[in-house]
Amino acid sequence: MTVPRNSLRGFLTQARGALRGAIETSQNVTIVIGNESADLDSMSCSILYAYIRSMAPPRNAFSAIYIPVTNIPKSDIQLRPEYLELFKHANITSHHILTLDDLPDLSTIKSQLPPQNTKWVLVDHNALQGQLGSIYADRVGGVIDHHDEEGKVPSETGDEPRMVEKSGSCTSLVTKYLRPSWDSLSGLGISSAAAQAQGDSLSDDAAVVKVWDAQAAQLGLASILLDTANLQDKSKTTGHDREAVEYLEARILACPKLAASFDRNKFYEEIDSAKKDIGGMQLYDILRKDYKLWNDKGQKVGISSVVKNIEFLQKKAADEANTGTADAAFLEALQRFATEHELDLYSLMTTSTSAEGHFQRELLVWAFSETGITTAKKFAAESGNELGLEEWQSGEGNSYDHDGDGYWRNVWWQRHVQHSRKRVAPLLREAMI
């Protein structure tokens, strides 16, 4: 059964109903899910893939509709202002997004959503992590990802893709895979009743389809532009990204209703500014906003990526603590975060722009157990040259270096700024013994 041509808004509403129905009646369900950091790339990948795939499924699809699940609780959407800004362009709201809250509670999920009734397609990661991974890892049957291969997805995935390739954005790979299906869908008409049901005032079927395509294209385009700095970051941008931007932008410009007002540079700046607008958040929320966890070789490693520098975070910590020095308040906040998450090793990665206008990175690594300390020291010794690690000091003149009392900590300038968490995380994990 093919899902009728629909807008993103209509599709997401239908997907939520289909998920509920599958849970209540023990029907098969295909879930498309991004990684646990749930950045814009993961969110848009899952929605775009599920949207097009549901309307142009393979002949032997596991279920009638693909369900896009954003890998966070619904309340955490508010921590991602770039989501909210982008949703305006896609004619959806946060209420339309399916999240972990739409799945059964973890205490009952195996009985309400039996593994044998599910198929999972991973986007923007290639190993299902956490509690979902412990239950459904054997049910993963497809993947599109741009991170290092972890060998967790079967080599044969049948009618679903197995695409793990380098690109600046995973959405670029999703777009590449979907292009033939999307092209064929755009040539299909729809009923006037379908258009009116979505609140579209246009009477021409083709015009309605162009609006829907343009809205979906903007959803995908935003994450590619963010991940590649509007295609200007030469260390990240690949041919996949340039081709996807050309394709998605053409979809937008083909829509008379949106083409006249669309400007890619302004669109990018709008979403990028929203992403960096974290001044009103609590420090704890900033640390968990873009956080990923790995549990390998008996060690728990967590990494937070933040779009502000450590100086910003120090001031935030000091304001919230209202006592002591900025250094002390900041370190206490990080230690509380790592302790609450029961980590052996915690890393904080920051990005910012220097006074001279240069992109820069800082990297903090803090180990809290014997195994974590061994990993951290090995990482520092083996990865320092590749990452261009240089001595760092706080505004108060402290280095934060520490070795003793059961933990180890260091902070550096990461001068080789082309290496994001996509590279640092594997290096940390490779250092595990």
From first to last of its 433 residues, the chain has per-residue pLDDT tens of 567 889 999 999 999 999 999 999 999 999 999 999 999 999 999 999 999 999 999 999 999 999 999 999 999 999 999 999 999 999 999 999 999 999 999 899 999 999 999 999 999 999 999 899 999 999 999 999 999 999 999 999 999 999 999 999 999 999 999 999 999 987 654 444 444 444 444 446 788 999 999 999 999 999 999 999 999 999 999 999 999 999 999 999 999 999 999 999 999 999 999 999 999 999 999 999 999 999 888 999 999 999 999 999 999 999 999 877 899 999 999 999 999 999 999 999 999 999 898 999 999 999 999 999 999 999 999 999 999 999 998 877 888 999 999 999 999 999 999 999 999 999 999 999 7
From-to residues of CATH 3.90.1640.10 in the chain: 8-271
Side-chain half-sphere of 107: how many Cα atoms within 13 Å? 0
From-to residues of CATH 3.10.310.20 in the chain: 283-430
Q: Which long-range contacts (CB under 8 A, 24 or more apart) does 282-287 make?
A: 282/320, 283/313, 283/316, 283/317, 283/320, 283/333, 284/333, 284/336, 284/337, 285/79, 286/313, 286/316, 287/333, 287/334, 287/337, 287/348
Q: What pLDDT sits at residue 187?
A: 67
Cβ atoms of 334 and 403 closer than 8 Å:
no
Q: What pLDDT sits at residue 189?
A: 46
Q: What pLDDT sits at residue 188?
A: 53
Tell which residue, 252, 179, 185, 192, has the closest CA to residue 222.
Answer: 252
Give the amino acid at 180.
P
CA–CA gap between residue 376 and residue 345 (Å, rounded): 8
CATH classification for the domain delimited by 8-271, as one of 3.40.50.2300, 1.10.10.10, 3.40.718.10, 3.90.1640.10: 3.90.1640.10
CA–CA gap between residue 228 and residue 40 (Å, rounded): 13
CA–CA gap between residue 171 and residue 37 (Å, rounded): 15
Structure-token pair, residue 12: 């997401």
Collapsing DSSP states into helix, strand and coil, what is residue 301? Answer: strand
Q: State in Å, rounded, how far the first CA of the chain is from the last one.
A: 49
CATH number of 283-430: 3.10.310.20
What counts of helices (H) and strands (E) characterise the chain? 16, 12
Q: What pLDDT sits at residue 398?
A: 80
Q: What pLDDT sits at residue 399?
A: 85
User: β-pairing, 359-367 with 291-296?
Assistant: unpaired
Give residue-wise pLDDT tens across range 370-409.
999 999 999 999 999 999 999 998 877 888 999 999 999 9
Strand partners, 411: 364
Q: What pLDDT sits at residue 1?
A: 57
